Amino acid sequence: MQFQIPNLKFQGISKFQVPVQNARHSGLWIFSIGIWCLFGAWNLELGTSPASAAPTSVARPNIVFILTDDLGINDLACYGRTEHHTPNLDRLAAQGMRFTSAYCAQPICSPSRAAILTGKTPARLHLTTYLPGRPDCASQKLLHPVMRQQLPVEEKTLAEHFKAAGYATACIGKWHLGGKGFLPTDQGFDIYRPGKAVTKPSDTECGKGEYELTRWAEEFMEANQAGPFLLYLAHDTPHIPYSAQDSAVMRNSSAFNPTYAGLIETMDDTVGRLLAKIDSLGIAEKTLVIFTSDNGGLHVPEGPHATITHNAPFRAGKGFLYEGGLRIPLIARWPGKIPAGRVVDAPVINTDWLPTLLDCAELPRSRGIDGESFFGLLTGRNKGGKRRFYWHFPHYTNQGSQPAGAIREGDWKLIEHYEDGHLELFNLARDIGETTNLTGTEGKRAVRMAGMLARWRADVGAQTNSLNLHFNPAAHRALYETFQPSRVNLAKTDDAGRARALEWRRQMDAAVREVK
């Protein structure tokens, strides 16, 4: 006589057969079976087993997230900027995936970084421009909303998610999301090494402290090579003011801006060193490397620099909701998981990183966030679904932008200007430079998309502007009407055009200084 027990997966038993030789023994065996079944049912309910009360460990990847500051969409050779020398990043792109339609959540630093770390749109966080923000000026028709001055500690960050899962966590470099009480070590990072935003170039350092940051990053990876670890390496490169080693400037003498190109080359060298360290530690196969920027490149004169970069063929740059301000370089490598040499045109946004990285590590998804995981797209399992992307930027910036919102739906993109409500509609498939406003021929589409943008603002609780009672129309005309900074392309203008851009910069700086 035999009793056959169904598959007990949690006990590691596929078939449990009990011989019963006589009636006297059968009672004992039946009792034993009952005990096994009782404990089996109990353990199935608890999700554990008698053999192991701990959950099965998952081989989770190390994550190296390299974030640059104001790096433009076409500042790398692999993105078409042939005058720039970026062999290490070009090789990283060849070994992994390069995105051509990656967006930032805001075309300026602090809110974009907050979106990466929380998975929430800046409009929901009420953190919508750089900290502490630009003072209001007489040239503004509207006043800025009063926003938060730090990333609230109640927001659960990427580091807090991964630290709870047993990761060692480090923030090395720029934070820009709050001071004492709101530092990385208050938001889930074990280690915070800010470094210096400006350094004097030498034989061992360049103009943005990038080699020191890289050494600290290497030390952290070596100390935690057994893994898993999360390294958030936030370079100040190439934010103004900047300088570069003389030798690098000379090697790039034919570039649009030789000093800027030299700085890009040095940044690429530090990335190469970091990748070499990953290889030497033997952890490349289990390390996801991400390289990106917080927002688009700076296309107008600012600070001590008459020229910085250009984002052609995209319009405008940092501070603007045109493509030059929103599109960012994005490269990701994870050997064996991310297909090598793949170029992806499907749009993603850096608000998506928190849910995407949680999926990469097989960690529970976070609730109440705005980002969507693109894990399937990243690993080549799908081509990405149809999505809408929204932006709310109720601020004037030093780069010359004015309060506006935007929505992208498929190939269509709408920008709503908050000063007077006028709309611009572009078809990005046919007009990547956003040169032709199609509201005249696509009026119904424009109104529909504007309605979606308005409903989204209400859903996320976006802050709005108020009227400036001290508005100076003449100052407004000089800064935003007679000269249109979004149309500037210093790579294609003559000396007179560059001189006019410099004069505009002096006027803008004077307008801001008046209220400081």
Residues 9 and 139 in one domain: no
Residues 5-31 have a mean pLDDT of 35
R_g of the chain, CA atoms, integer Å = 27
Looking at per-residue confidence, does 42 or 349 come out higher? Answer: 349
Residue 289 falls inside a structural domain: yes
Residue whose C-alpha is closest to residue 123's, from 402, 393, 450: 393
Active-site residue, 109 included: yes
Predicted confidence band at 385 (pLDDT cuts at 50, 70, 90)? Answer: confident
pLDDT reading at 515 higher than 90? no
Residues 17 and 90 in one domain: no
Beta strands in 194-275 (DSSP E): 229-234
Residues 40 and 68 in one domain: no
Bridge partner residues of 416 (DSSP): 405, 423
Look over the chain and give the mean of its residue pLDDT values, rounded to a whole number. Answer: 90
Residues 167 and 217 in one domain: yes
Q: What is the pLDDT of residues 119-137, one digit of tens each?
A: 999 999 999 999 999 999 9
Residue 419 falls inside a structural domain: no
Residues 319-342 have a mean pLDDT of 98
Query: Which single residue is written with the structure tokens 């899962």?
Result: 165
Choice among 104, 109, 137, 206 that is catalytic: 109
Choice among 85, 144, 176, 235 that is catalytic: 176
Q: What is the pLDDT of residues 354-372, one digit of tens each?
A: 999 999 999 998 889 999 9
Residues 167 and 275 in one domain: yes
Predicted local confidence at residue 27, as pLDDT: 44
Provide the residue range defining the domain that includes 231: 62-386
Residue 509 falls inside a structural domain: no
Residue 508 falls inside a structural domain: no
pLDDT reading at 469 higher than 90? yes
Domain stop point among 369, 386, 403: 386
Predicted local confidence at residue 513, as pLDDT: 85
Residues 176 and 34 in one domain: no
Predicted local confidence at residue 58, as pLDDT: 54
Angstrom distance (rounded) from CA 335 to CA 347:
23
Which own/partner contact pairs does 472-478 have at CB distance under 8 Å and 24+ positions apart? 472/138, 472/139, 475/137, 475/138, 475/139, 475/511, 476/139, 476/140, 476/141, 478/139, 478/507
Residues 359 and 287 in one domain: yes
Q: What is the pLDDT of residues 53-70, one digit of tens each?
A: 333 345 799 999 999 999
DSSP 23: H
Residue 515 falls inside a structural domain: no
Residue 296 falls inside a structural domain: yes
Residues 41 and 67 in one domain: no
Write the CATH number for 279.
3.40.720.10
Largest Cα–Cα distance of the chain, in whole Å?
A: 107
Residues 124 and 194 in one domain: yes
Number of domains, the chain: 2
Angstrom distance (rounded) from CA 21 to CA 286:
54
DSSP 482: S
Angstrom distance (rounded) from CA 372 to CA 310:
30
Domain stop point among 386, 415, 431: 386
Looking at per-residue confidence, does 415 or 4 come out higher? Answer: 415
Q: What is the pLDDT of residues 151-174, one digit of tens each?
A: 999 999 999 999 999 999 999 999
**Residue 217 identity:** A
What is the three-state SS of 127-167?
A: CCCCCCCCCCCCCCCEECCCCCCCCCCCCCCHHHHHHHCCC
Residue 180 falls inside a structural domain: yes
Mean pLDDT is lowest, of 30-34, 203-207, 257-261, 322-326, for 30-34
Structure tokens at 326: 């929103």
Predicted local confidence at residue 516, as pLDDT: 57
Predicted confidence band at 44 (pLDDT cuts at 50, 70, 90)? Answer: very low
Residues 393-403 have a mean pLDDT of 98
DSSP string, 393-462: E----TTS--SEEEEEETTEEEEEETTT--EEEEETTT-TT-----TTT-HHHHHHHHHHHHHHHHHHT-
Degrees, nearest 5: CA angle 372-374-376: 135
Residues 26 and 101 in one domain: no
Residues 432-446 have a mean pLDDT of 98
Predicted local confidence at residue 59, as pLDDT: 78
292 and 67 in contact (C-beta within 8 Å)? yes
Active-site residue, 310 included: no
158 and 116 in contact (C-beta within 8 Å)? yes
Predicted local confidence at residue 292, as pLDDT: 98
Angstrom distance (rounded) from CA 57 to CA 69:
36
Angstrom distance (rounded) from CA 128 to CA 295:
13
Residues 7 and 76 in one domain: no
Residue 26 falls inside a structural domain: yes
pLDDT reading at 36 higher than 60? no
Predicted local confidence at residue 365, as pLDDT: 85
Domain stop point among 356, 386, 416: 386
**Residue 198 identity:** V
CA dihedral over 449, 450, 454, 457, signed as positive or negative: positive
pLDDT reading at 384 higher than 90? no
Predicted local confidence at residue 383, as pLDDT: 85
Q: What is the pLDDT of residues 245-283, one digit of tens each?
A: 999 999 999 999 999 999 999 999 999 999 999 999 999
Angstrom distance (rounded) from CA 320 to CA 489:
14
Residues 85-102 have a mean pLDDT of 98
Residues 8 and 77 in one domain: no
Bridge partner residues of 4 (DSSP): 17
